[in-house]
């Protein structure tokens, strides 16, 4: 007997017969979450199988599904689903992603990262928190509403490649007819990332800098060749000075966020095969998190000046824009009231919401804590799945019925 059946049987045995139907309805989100976690949809792989499963479930429960397929940079097939249920204009859109980060190291040998397991009232597995648990909640909530119940539509969006640069979301913006509908009709939007069911009105943006220094490999004892690190070292010194300035100077801070800084994350890698070989290429990558009311462009100009001075090739890639919605806006205020919260929050991570910039009314709101996302023992509390389902159903009823 599965652990889910055991849990249900025990609850019924303890005298919950009058609420058995309601209990089974609530437990559906757990069943969906377990099924979704079972698909290995790591970003480097195709998400076709998990998308096929979701397409089947969405179609079964009254959604019309628009499918956008593409090949990523490594020619791996990817799928975006954009589904609609109900007529009218406006309504509510739910945004999610089906890809997950790698799970090369898992905390136990008893079960793997894609073998969902229940223990201590938690569902363990890669993606359980970020963000297949959230998808399960909305899938369960949306089933409660027949087409005829809806005065405004529900949109259900599942993207690929969120974890590696929001590539799927960009395709939705470029190619989806349903997304154009949402923009034209000012559809309300929920980005279902884990927020512990707190209403989030702002998150940071993201920029990737790639700096490449080139040399010529040769034996380190000879006059031949050129170590690529010789140009990279002074560039890194300039980066370190900029990093330290943004950590200490108040003009680069925004105290609405935690941490209140831009969090320059710097990594360096060269291609040297042995300690006695001069490096022919060194790559420095910087992940920068931008914030409202902070002028990152002047900092980027300083980085570019240093790169040019040191003969470094520099590429700047803006992955996702800042998400910011007025905390006193009508949509945020209504969301707070529905969630029984006093004030909205900010988060320091990014979401697909930084790509869906044309949608004016949007929040980040989902079950699970970001502290459990991407960990070697990723999990989501079963209570969060239950509460998330109820909250999403409440929001559908408020904006669509």
d(CA 391, CA 21): 19
Q: Tokens in use for 400?
A: 């669509």
| Helix or strand (DSSP H, E) at 134 | helix 133-142
Tokens 């890639």, residue located: 317
Just list the catalytic residues. 99, 162
d(CA 275, CA 260): 40
Residues linked to residue 386 through DSSP beta bridges, in sequence order = none
By three-state DSSP, how is residue 258 classified? coil
First to last CA, the chain: 39
Residue 304 Cα to chain centre, angstroms: 29
Evaluate whether 347 touches 195 at the Cβ level (below 8 Å).
yes
Angle between helices 133-142 and 382-400 (to 10 degrees): 40
By three-state DSSP, how is residue 285 classified? strand
Max Cα-Cα span within the chain? 85
SS3 content of the chain, % helix, strand, coil (to 5): 40, 25, 40
d(CA 255, CA 401): 39
Q: Tokens in use for 198?
A: 């707190």
d(CA 51, CA 81): 7
Q: How many residues does the chain have?
A: 401
Evaluate whether 378 touches 130 at the Cβ level (below 8 Å).
yes
d(CA 269, CA 260): 28
Within 8 A by CB and 6+ apart from 367, the residues are 133, 134, 137, 194, 196, 197, 380, 384, 385, 387, 388
């Amino acid at each position: 007997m599965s652990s889910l059946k055991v849990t249900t049987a025990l609850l019924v045995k303890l005298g919950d017969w009058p609420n058995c139907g309601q209990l089974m309805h609530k437990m559906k989100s757990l069943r969906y979450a377990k099924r979704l976690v079972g698909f290995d949809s790591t970003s480097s792989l195709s998400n076709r199988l998990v998308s096929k499963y979701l397409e089947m479930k969405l179609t079964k429960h009254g959604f019309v599904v628009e499918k956008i397929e593409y090949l990523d940079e490594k020619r791996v097939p990817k799928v975006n689903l954009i589904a609609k249920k109900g007529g009218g204009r406006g309504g509510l859109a739910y945004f999610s992603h089906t890809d997950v980060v790698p799970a090369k190291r898992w905390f136990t040998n008893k079960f793997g990262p894609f073998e969902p397991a229940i223990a201590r009232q938690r569902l363990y597995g890669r993606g359980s928190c970020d963000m297949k648990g959230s998808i399960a909640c909305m899938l369960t909530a949306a089933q409660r509403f027949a087409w005829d119940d809806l005065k405004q539509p529900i949109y259900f969006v599942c993207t690929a490649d969120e974890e590696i640069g929001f590539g799927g979301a960009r395709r939705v913006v470029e190619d989806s007819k349903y997304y154009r509908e949402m923009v034209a009709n000012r559809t309300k939007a929920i980005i279902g990332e884990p927020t512990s069911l707190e209403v989030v009105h702002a998150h940071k943006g993201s920029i990737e800098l790639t700096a490449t220094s080139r040399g010529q490999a040769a034996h380190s004892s000879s006059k031949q060749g050129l170590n690529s690190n010789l140009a990279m070292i002074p560039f890194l010194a300039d980066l370190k000075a900029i990093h330290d300035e943004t950590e200490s100077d108040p003009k680069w801070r925004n105290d609405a966020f935690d941490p209140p800084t831009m969090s320059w994350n710097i990594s360096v890698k060269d291609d040297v095969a042995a300690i006695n070989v001069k490096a022919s290429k060194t790559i420095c990558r910087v992940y920068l998190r931008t914030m409202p009311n902070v002028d990152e462009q002047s900092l980027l100009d300083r980085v570019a000046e240093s790169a040019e001075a040191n003969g470094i090739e520099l590429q700047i890639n803006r992955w996702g824009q800042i998400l910011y919605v007025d905390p006193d806006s009508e949509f945020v205020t209504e969301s707070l009231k529905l969630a029984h919260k006093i004030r909205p929050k900010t988060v320091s991570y990014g979401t697909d919401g930084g790509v869906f910039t044309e949608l004016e009314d949007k929040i980040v709101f989902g079950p699970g804590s970001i502290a459990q996302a991407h960990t070697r023992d990723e999990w989501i509390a079963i209570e969060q799945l239950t509460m998330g389902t109820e909250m999403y159903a409440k929001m559908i009823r408020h904006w669509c019925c």
